[in-house]
Amino acid sequence: MNKKLSIIDVANALNISKTKVSFVLNGQSKEKRISDALTSKVMAFIKEVGFKPNPIAKGLRTGKVNNISLVMDNIANPFFADVAKAIEERAYE
């Protein structure tokens, strides 16, 4: 079974701190004075291994989630189903 990579795994593979990896992933490398070479190295590595940050972990850390909740009377009603579908399509845009 393939284990999903974490920031710690990326940091260990590159022999840098998990904090630096986090700063690079969050686009804060310039303000935190992380070199362009290290930023490029981290970005190339995460692209190579297919790393994707865990949205649940990020939500727990930041207190923000990118979810939309929709409460409808009756989803079996074609009108409500069409409304839900339109909202979903717009959200993906």
How much is the pLDDT for 92?
A: 86
Q: In sequence order, what are the residues at sequence separation of 6 or more whose Cβ sits closer than 8 angstroms to the Cβ of residue 13?
A: 45, 49
How much is the pLDDT for 93?
A: 86
How much is the pLDDT for 23?
A: 93
Fold (topology level) of 7-62:
434 Repressor (Amino-terminal Domain) (1.10.260)
pTM score: 0.65
Q: Per residue of the chain (93 residues), what is the pLDDT tens digit?
A: 467 888 999 999 999 999 999 999 989 999 999 999 999 999 999 999 989 888 888 888 888 887 888 888 887 888 988 988 999 999 888
How much is the pLDDT for 47?
A: 93
Distance (Å, whole) CA 39 – CA 16: 11
Residue indicated by tokens 């727990």: 60
How much is the pLDDT for 36?
A: 94
Distance (Å, whole) CA 86 – CA 23: 36
